[in-house]
Chains A and B, each alone.
Chain A
């Protein structure tokens, strides 16, 4: 099951950065505090980049600091201030073809969860998701959180490639691929939406704090 911490955990990513993991639940309240922490940490002189994850924050070092304990203390203080950030807050709806060629793991999801195929689809499309963070590949948004009935561990062997637009589930998370590539998640559907344009002034369609709804276009055999 999910690995919730009881206190903030800070760990080194070699000499390149550190990872701050928030204590407590994988929920929006905690994520809002991560967005706020990212905003304030980005102004620290030792931080080159602040990258929110799912209730965690990766900070890239400008240069490896000599006194790691000091920078960790710094972060814990900022976290304890406890302020939240609302994020951008735009709303998007995406039409999805569930199952069929574009959703090869729908049957497996149904089998693993003990639900029917249409139940899996209706539960997945039946709630609003919040963009918690962007990452993995350009423009990809991690969405929280999945209905507990659809919780499923990641694949043990990642798929070599799933296409742009693939809608997939991994753990408590769901999302839609922004470009072709490998994935350790379970692919249940496909959307024609496009999520990234490197030539645009704002390259990523989605931003943390946005709300997403998947609409059932078709359920394919």
Chain B
């Protein structure tokens, strides 16, 4: 069991996501940074898509009631186990009754706390992810609160010691990335050409500030208003994470894991799937810049990401094999 010691963290149980139910309006939910979830799970020897606690850039304290192997991966948040500092993006054993304290991160946003054995919340519609709007999945369909006790798979005696990973913000940085500014690659979407020339130009040149009103549903961006050549009243259609909507005369919103599954605001572009983790990890108040790519370049970016995932998996297998 793991005991949650804080209220107000907005942490929730998430796995890779809930797929196959969009046709009845059920979005995927799931980890905002699927790459970090995968790394956290692999570090403790879980299946890559097991359920973990997602901590959305907030401080959180938990108590391990039994001895466990755990990993904390993602935002690079400072963390202490019984007062001893942990390496970022690493796995460690914890003895029974140890307390883990995760601080508010400064360079990233979402962290994933994975436990060997995974969290054993009920599977609803094929996933353990919390569907916050629908109030189902995860732990009672809601964010975690003080006193919550979370069951996990059998504690394992073969603790695998302490080792870590270099974060993707270092290994997969894009040209121009700097503290407070992240670049994400975008394919123009169906209504791109319906935006005024000046608005199209502004879309690519603006350093868009991420509004404090951003969350798992979407990131609202602060910058110039984007105008259509002529107003457009569209028929509602299916949406996916990464779609950037811009209401006429408004600012862009990037749809993310908890977004509506359908909508009808004009779409100026889509963040490519390979870069959604970059959006998730960009802190509120920091800036995003959109880099235009074509479909071939977007597929190539996915191949680069997949190769890096394979490399990380091999490294982890090696460390675990050595009993590091």
Give A residues with C-beta under 8 Å from B: 1-3, 9, 11-17, 19, 21, 26, 38, 48-58, 60, 64, 66, 68, 133-140, 142, 153-154, 156, 170-173, 178-181, 184, 196, 198-199, 203-204
Contacts and interface: CB of A to CB of B under 8 A. Distances in A.
24 contacts: A2-B233, A3-B234, A13-B240, A14-B186, A16-B242, A17-B238, A19-B237, A49-B19, A56-B237, A58-B239, A60-B240, A64-B299, A64-B302, A133-B236, A133-B262, A135-B22, A136-B25, A136-B262, A137-B133, A142-B262, A178-B25, A198-B125, A203-B125, A204-B25
A65 to B, nearest CB: 9
Nearest to A175: B236
Chain B binding surface, main DSSP class:
loop
Contacts of B131: 138, 198
Determine which residue in B20, B186, B231, B233 has the highest number of CB atoms from chain A within 10 A of its CB, and name it. Answer: B233
A2 B25 CA distance: 23
A135 B240 CA distance: 12
B189 interface: yes
A16 B133 contact: no
Interface string B254-272: 0000001111110000111
Contacts of A55: 235
A21 B237 contact: yes
Determine which residue in B21, B249, B272 has the highest number of CB atoms from chain A within 10 A of its CB, and name it. Answer: B21
Given A49-B23, A181-B133, A196-B134, A13 B243 contact: yes
Given A56-B235, A56-B237, A12 B270 contact: yes
B136 interface: yes
B261 A137 contact: yes
B298 interface: yes
A54 B237 contact: yes
A7 B310 CA distance: 43
A51 B235 contact: no
A14 B242 CA distance: 8
Interface string B126-157: 00000101111100000000000000000000
Given A11-B189, A171-B233, A198 B295 contact: no
A67 B20 CA distance: 24
Q: Which 6 A-B pairs have the closest CB atoms?
A: A58-B238, A135-B262, A14-B270, A53-B237, A11-B190, A54-B235
B247 interface: yes
Given A19-B238, A153-B233, A198-B125, A137 B249 contact: no
A3 B136 contact: no
B274 interface: yes
Given A15-B274, A16-B273, A135 B25 contact: yes
Given A2-B233, A14-B298, A15-B273, A137 B238 contact: no
Contacts of A57: 238
Contacts of A16: 240-242, 270, 273
A52 B261 CA distance: 11
B250 interface: yes
B214 to A, nearest CB: 13
Determine which residue in A55, A66, A181 has the highest number of CB atoms from chain B within 10 A of its CB, and name it. Answer: A181
Interface in B21-48: 21-27
A58 B233 contact: no
B72 interface: no
Interface of B: 19-27, 124-125, 131, 133-137, 186-187, 189-190, 231-243, 247-250, 260-265, 270-274, 295, 298-299, 302
Given A51-B22, A204-B24, A15 B134 contact: no
Nearest to A183: B260
Given A13-B243, A16-B241, A135-B238, A60 B264 contact: no
A159 to B, nearest CB: 13
B22 A49 contact: yes
B237 A66 contact: no
Given A11-B189, A135-B238, A137-B133, A3 B232 contact: yes
Nearest to B23: A51
B26 A138 contact: yes
Nearest to B192: A11
B24 A139 contact: yes
B191 to A, nearest CB: 9
B272 A135 contact: no
B189 A13 contact: yes
Given A48-B20, A142-B262, A196-B25, 4 more contacts: A15-B298, A49-B20, A136-B261, A173-B235
Determine which residue in A135, A173, A196, A199 has the highest number of CB atoms from chain B within 10 A of its CB, and name it. Answer: A135
